[in-house]
Structure 1
Amino acid sequence: MDITQLILDDHAEQRRLFAILEQIDPTDTDALGAVWSRLSAFLDVHAEAEERFFYPDLLKLGEGANDAEDGTVEGETGDAIEDHNALRDAVRAVDNYPVGTGAWIEAVGKVNVVNSRHMGEEERQGLTDFRRHAPVARRHALAVSFAAFEAAHITGVKPVNKVPEAYIEANG
């Protein structure tokens, strides 16, 4: 088991859930609401799990990969924390609209855009960086903690934005 693979698996599930939402008739608000409830909780739990188990070790072991912000591990991590904040904000914005309305569908689409951009960057940067520099045994140990956290919080976590600079200082 490898935390980088668990994160990739979560990304695939997020993409799948967005695709499911796109295929549900907008008048089927019960189905839309149920799938959105699952997806929004999953997005919050996934971000929190990464911030607890992945990014602290990335800050200690990484060097910055590919198109990382300013070419450093601090840059790629700070950008990821900013992305998570933007994602949390976008997820909360969906609650401002009745399920199935045009405004709700547009808000969910904005979440998808924010999340997709973040996943692409993370897959090119942080995950690549971690696979290059973290020992397999450490990746396994983190995967166990990551999986256990997600399982224990299947219904969600309280979304809390973080200050990227303070996060990096506390975890670096």
Structure 2
Amino acid sequence: MVRATRRTRVPMALAGVASGLVGTLAMNYAQRAWTLAADDVPPPSAGGKHDARDWQERDERRNANESVANIAAQLLIGRPLTRPALHVAAPIVHFTFGATMAGLFACSAGHRRSHVPTGLRFGAGLWLVADVIAMPVLGLSAPTTRRPAEKHLQALAAHLVYGGVTALALRAIR
């Protein structure tokens, strides 16, 4: 097996970031398709279809990406963002997280080929760690025990799309 070096990790990480942007976009569209099939009407998110928290807005009437953007704004400028600013900031939070996680995924995969099953496992693992565990612990969502099964399935399906598309994009880029 070829060992990754500092010289090869940077291109791997950049390929991962690019593939993560593609995967995040696909995730957003999958999330919105589920929401429209379930409710016919999308939630009134500041970020629109590009912040992929439809399940949370449908269930909790809040959005973790908007919360993180407002926390950052409070720390940086001393006040929460306006709704037009959230329209830009919430998707930036989501795409940045997706790109960063995919960059780490690409570095961990090293020189191995990226396959869809690996991407699906990555997406499922990210759903478990981020949505099921970290978001409630950080106060960015309600406890998962209060979440209806359909919302868990919507979030899991969206993360599987993210992981699968990220793996395909990574494979195409490499």
TM-score interval (norm. to shorter): under 0.3
TM score, norm. by length of structure 1: 0.28
